[in-house]
Amino acid sequence: MDIPKKNSSNDRTSSVQGSQRALTGIILLFDKLTKLDMARIAGAIAKIEPLKKPVSSNIQVEERGILRAFLEFDDHKLQLVGFSARVPAATMEHTIPVSNWKPQDKAPLQGHKAHILCYYEGENTNPIERLIALYKTAFAFCKEGVLGILDEDAWNCMPRRMIEEQVKPDMLQSCRQTVPLGIWTGFVKMFKSKNEVWFCTKGYHRFGAKDLAYLGRPDEANAAFDLFGNLFFYMRDGAVLKAGDTAQVSETENIRFREVYEYPDSLNSPSGTLVLEKIKASEINKPGS
C-alpha cells in the first residue's frame, strides 16, 4: 500500500466506541446477519478442546439488524455486537488490502454486508489465551456463515478456510508455545517511493513488545520480516529496547534504534514503534544523531 497522505484515524470507528476500543477483539464478517444458534455455537467451541467451564450465552438484543450478546467459557467472556452493515472503510483499508492473502481469499471479505464485533472482556490476562478464545469463537461461527475475520490491531485478516484449518488442538498448542507472528501480528509494506518501502509490524503491542519499522528496498522484505521476528522474541524474553540503543544482528549487520520520525499516523503503535537503521560496526554503542 502507499503511505496515506493524511490521518484517517477519526474514521476508524465502528458502532461501539469509548473504552471498548482498547479491548482485544476481532471482527467477524458475514453476507447477512441471521438469528444465532447459540447452542450450536457452544457445541462447536466445546468440541475444539476440553473446557474447564462449560459454554454459556446471553442474547440481550437480536432484532432489526442489530445484535448484542455475551459468550462465556473457562475464564473467558466475550461481548458480541453485530450490525447489518459493512465495516467502516478506514478499518477495511487497514486490514484486507495490506494483508498477504491471495486476491481470491480477500474477495469474500471485501464483499461482506454485515459484521459482528467480538470483544474480549474476560479475566485471563494472557494475550495468547485471549486470542485463542477469540479464534475459537470465530471457528464456532463457521456454521453461522462467517466469511472470515478482520484483526484491526494487527492490520490483518483471515479467510474462513484458514480459520477452519488453524483452530485445531495441535495448532492451538503450538500457538501457546510460540506466538505465530504470521497470523496474530501484521507485516505491512508501505511504499514511500518506487524504491523505498517502510516495512513495519502491527500487533506486537498485544504481547508487551514494541512494534518495529525499517525503511528499505522492496527486495528486503524477507530479511526485514526475519529481523523483526528475532527482535520480537528477544523482547518477549525480557529485553528492553529503546531509542538510541545499538545492536549487532549478524556478522555483517549492525543497527541503531530510533523514534519514529515520519508518517507517525501509519507507523506508530499503542506500545510505541522503534525504527531500525543500519549503521557501521564502528558506530556500535555510540549515540546516534
Residues 269-288 pLDDT 10s: 999 999 999 998 888 876 65
pLDDT score, position 15: 33
- State whether 138 and 218 are in the same domain: no
pLDDT score, position 23: 64
Residue 59 lies in a domain: yes
Q: Which of 179, 202, 231 finishes a domain? A: 179
pLDDT score, position 287: 61
- State whether 32 and 146 are in the same domain: yes
Q: How many CB atoms lie within 10 A of CB 24?
A: 18
Helices assigned H by DSSP within the chain:
38-48, 89-93, 103-110, 127-140, 160-166, 169-177, 181-184, 221-236, 264-267
- State whether 256 and 208 are in the same domain: yes
Q: Which residue in the block uniquely carries the three cell numbers 487497514?
A: 94
Q: Which of 130, 159, 179 finishes a domain? A: 179
- State whether 92 and 194 are in the same domain: no
pLDDT score, position 7: 40
Residue 93 lies in a domain: yes
- State whether 71 and 153 are in the same domain: yes
Name the pLDDT band for 20 (thresholds 50, 70, 90). very low
Give CA–CA dist 277/270, Å, rounded. 21
Helices assigned H by DSSP within 79-168:
89-93, 103-110, 127-140, 160-166
Residue 266 lies in a domain: yes
For 24, the domain range is 19-179
- State whether 164 and 220 are in the same domain: no
Name the pLDDT band for 6 (thresholds 50, 70, 90). very low
Taking phi first (over 0 means left), then psi (-120 to 50 degrees means alpha), and beta for anything else, what does residue 200 get?
Answer: beta
pLDDT in tens, 187-196: 999 999 999 9
Could you give the number of structural domains in the chain?
2
Beta partners for 157?
150
pLDDT in tens, 44-97: 999 999 999 999 999 999 888 999 999 999 999 999 999 999 999 999 999 999
In this predicted structure, the answer to whether residue 19 has a pLDDT above a threshold of 90 is no
Residue 6 lies in a domain: no
- State whether 261 and 136 are in the same domain: no
Residue 289 lies in a domain: no
pLDDT score, position 288: 59
- State whether 122 and 204 are in the same domain: no
**The three cell numbers locating residue 4:** 496515506
Judge contact between 183 and 163, C-beta under 8 A. no
**Is the whole-model pTM more than 0.85?**
yes
In this predicted structure, the answer to whether residue 5 has a pLDDT above a threshold of 80 is no
- State whether 121 and 227 are in the same domain: no
- State whether 148 and 225 are in the same domain: no
Name the pLDDT band for 22 (thresholds 50, 70, 90). very low
- State whether 150 and 211 are in the same domain: no
pLDDT score, position 80: 97
pLDDT score, position 192: 94
Q: Which of 179, 201, 232 finishes a domain? A: 179
Average pLDDT, the chain: 90
pLDDT score, position 286: 67
Residue 271 lies in a domain: yes
Give CA–CA dist 144/18, Å, rounded. 29
In this predicted structure, the answer to whether residue 29 has a pLDDT above a threshold of 80 is yes
Name the pLDDT band for 9 (thresholds 50, 70, 90). very low
pLDDT score, position 281: 85
Q: What's the whole-number mean pLDDT along residues 94-117?
A: 95
Question: Would you list the DSSP string of 161-204?
Answer: HHHHHH-SHHHHHHHHHS--HHHHSEEEEEEEETTEEEEEEESG
In this predicted structure, the answer to whether residue 16 has a pLDDT above a threshold of 60 is no
Name the percent of the chain lying above pLDDT 70.
91
Judge contact between 150 and 138, C-beta under 8 A. no
Burial class (CB in 10 A: 0-12, 13-18, 19+), 12: middle
Beta partners for 117?
27, 81
